Structure 1
Amino acid sequence: MILPLSYFLHGQGCSDAGFCTMGAMKPSQEFNKNVPVKLRSISVAFYEGQSNTSALIRAGIFDFGLTIGGQYELQVKVPYMHIDGNFGTTSGIGDISLSLTKNLYTNPEWDIMGTLGAKIPSNRSNITVPGQDAVYPMYYQTSLGTYDLVTGASFINRKWLISVGLQKPIIHQNENSFDASVDSWSWYEGGMSYVRRHDVGRDLRRGADVMMRFERNFRMSRINFNVGLLPIYRITKDQALNETNEYEKIDGTTGLALSALFGVNYSFNVFSSVHLIYGHRITDREVNPDGLTRKHVINLNYTFNF
């Protein structure tokens, strides 16, 4: 299994809330009918992404897979996040991903798979600046702070991987109270113009996302190259508390975030492999109060099957 980004690309997309690397939606999936199915897999990944602001997001991800009854694949992903930028540094466990994937249809030429899963927050997105009465903006939070439902499906053969997915917050209010006011950030010496670049999203209710993955694979005996596109469309507006403590829809938060993807996989043997993926932003949404937008991401992953 390969990561995200989680988020996190934990995710690899340039505006990815995490589901693009879960179950049937994950990139660089193997397609070899001659290789026996492994009951378990463990992946360790390193992820790095550059935000639209100064924040550099890094993550180490542990990814465990288990085949159940020969039909279902359980995936558990746990990232450890480290964010560093002009405001300082935050770190901690990120959102946990759980998914169950089933091969819905198979023949010698192609497979169709379906996934049902969830994202579980590690905190309420309310990490504060040490020694200050100020909450970090979402760019610096290790969690999105919401419980999300994830569903998806994919078609895969030797040349193509096409997948579609939906991520919808169910318990969708976090507790981020970032406020770019002079009083809250008067201690910051970097200038208020930089502070205000971090979109305000007080007690943010994130909208739902739909994704598709179009991936062309060039498979050889041990090595596989792939190129693709990852469009993610936010179909409902984000909402946040306004000055009168009422929820207000945020204009500019719906729309397309599109990334170009490039990857290479190398299999040492049937048990272990290494994967490298690079994602580069083509376009993104106008407003991103969740802090998920990335200029580019890189993801290095080692997987062991047993």
Structure 2
Amino acid sequence: MKKILFLLVIVFGVNKTWAQGCSDAGICSINHGFQTAEKQFKNTIEVAAVYSLGEADVQYFSPYVSYTKRFNDRYSFTSKVTLSTAHGSFGTRTQLGDAFLIGNYSFKEKKNSQWSALLGFKFPFTASNLKINGYSLPLDYQSSLGTIDLFLGTNFHYRRWDFNAALQIPVINLNKNSYFKEYSGTDDFPSTNLFERKPDALWRASYSIKTPNKKITFKPNLLFIYHLGEDTYENIFSQRESIKGSDGLTVNGNWITTYYFNKQNSIELSAAVPFVVRDIRPDGLTRSFVLGILYQYSF
């Protein structure tokens, strides 16, 4: 118990640093694709809302809804749609973000351990060039990165432990962002005109702790996200330029508490903060704190 309390102190004691926000790019939240409801239920609906704080005092409210179809003990399919509201000194912008389609295959369980594999895609609803009063906005105000992405992942479950690894690979770039910091009157955000993003690799470890009556589950998570290369943009001279320091490692801590009303209904609270950050995050996913609530219904 002392170790658990110590981890809580760490997680909630560093929320003034910065890191890549998880819910936006998608790779951090696809671990829900590895999770399944009680076997007797074939359908699961999730409704969630996420509040987070970004750079230059930008605030975000990001609800989403997802549906999971469990075909049998091996195959399941999840669809998800996101929406984002960004509010800051530039104004307020609300727009649909991305649609996710994720398939999961679970291998046969052996001696309290089980492997599963995941394949999915993310499709944007915008080309990441939303504007306010005709003015171009940085990626921090965009609801999507404007890319069609491929997800590849695997999970190993052993007793109370889960270890998963994943890749998020932009396969088609539809980003038409036209933001230049030179014309914006502020240096808070880097130029991202015709932005091109590199892939991400993730490794996560989580441990589940259940109360004796199994009504409440606590799940601390540690996430390592490595950005595989420097992102680029097209400068004012129409030349492609790398954004120095945009590659590298981010480490996030996440604490999830789930309360089960019964086998069909549950509610989940989660909080996330960073431990290690990249030098610069031009993709607009910088977050100092993320707080989420999720309701799940299975039938």
**TM surpasses 0.5:** yes
Aligned pair in 2 of structure 1 residues 265, 27: CA closer, same or farther (>3 Å)? farther
* Residue 303 (structure 1) aligned to one of 281, 296, 299: 296
2:32 corresponding residue in structure 1? 26
Unpaired runs of 5+ residues, structure 2, are 1-18
1:207 corresponding residue in structure 2? 198
Q: Residues 39 and 73 of structure 2 are in contact (CA less than 8 Å); yes or no, is this contact kept in structure 1?
A: no
Q: 1:133-212 alignment to 2 at 5 Å?
A: 134-182=135-183, 185=184, 192=185, 195-212=186-203
1:164-210 alpha-carbon deviations (Å, 9 max, x no partner): 0000101125100101234xx4xxxxxx3xx2111111110101000
1:100-142 alpha-carbon deviations (Å, 9 max, x no partner): 0000242251211100001101110011112x3x211100011
- Three-state SS of the structure 1 residue aligned to 2:263 is coil
Letter in 2 for 1:68: F
Letter in 2 for 1:259: N
Distance 1:274 1:166 in 2: 28
Distance 2:223 2:33 in 1: 10
2:44 corresponding residue in structure 1? 41
Unpaired runs of 5+ residues, structure 1, are 1-12, 186-191
2:77 corresponding residue in structure 1? 74
Q: 1:154-303 alignment to 2 at 5 Å?
A: 154-182=155-183, 185=184, 192=185, 195-220=186-211, 221-303=214-296
Distance 1:40 1:265 in 2: 19
- Tell me how far 1:216 sits from its aligned partner: 1.5
1:99 corresponding residue in structure 2? 102
- Tell me how far 1:246 sits from its aligned partner: 2.3
Letter in 1 for 2:194: D
* Residue 85 (structure 1) aligned to one of 75, 84, 88: 88
- Which is richer in helix? 2
Letter in 2 for 1:251: K
Aligned pair in 2 of structure 1 residues 103, 27: CA closer, same or farther (>3 Å)? closer
Tell me the percent identity: 27
- Three-state SS of the structure 2 residue aligned to 1:244 is coil
- Three-state SS of the structure 2 residue aligned to 1:26 is helix
How well do the aligned residues superpose, as a CA RMSD in angstroms?
1.8
Q: Residues 27 and 151 of structure 2 are in contact (CA less than 8 Å); yes or no, is this contact kept in structure 1?
A: yes
- Tell me how far 1:71 sits from its aligned partner: 2.3
Q: TM-score, normalised by structure 1?
A: 0.86
Aligned pair in 2 of structure 1 residues 28, 51: CA closer, same or farther (>3 Å)? farther
Distance 1:135 1:289 in 2: 15
Distance 1:38 1:107 in 2: 22
Q: Residues 14 and 280 of structure 1 are in contact (CA less than 8 Å); yes or no, is this contact kept in structure 2?
A: no
Q: TM-score, normalised by structure 2?
A: 0.88
- Three-state SS of the structure 2 residue aligned to 1:53 is helix
Aligned pair in 2 of structure 1 residues 73, 30: CA closer, same or farther (>3 Å)? closer
Q: Residues 103 and 120 of structure 2 are in contact (CA less than 8 Å); yes or no, is this contact kept in structure 1?
A: yes
Distance 2:34 2:271 in 1: 12
Q: Alignment length, in residue pairs?
A: 277
Aligned pair in 2 of structure 1 residues 36, 67: CA closer, same or farther (>3 Å)? closer
Letter in 2 for 1:26: H
Q: Does 1:51 find its partner at 2:54?
A: yes
- Tell me how far 1:70 sits from its aligned partner: 4.2
Letter in 2 for 1:159: R
1:78-114 alpha-carbon deviations (Å, 9 max, x no partner): 1121111111000011111110000024225121110
Q: Residues 43 and 67 of structure 2 are in contact (CA less than 8 Å); yes or no, is this contact kept in structure 1?
A: yes
Letter in 2 for 1:248: E
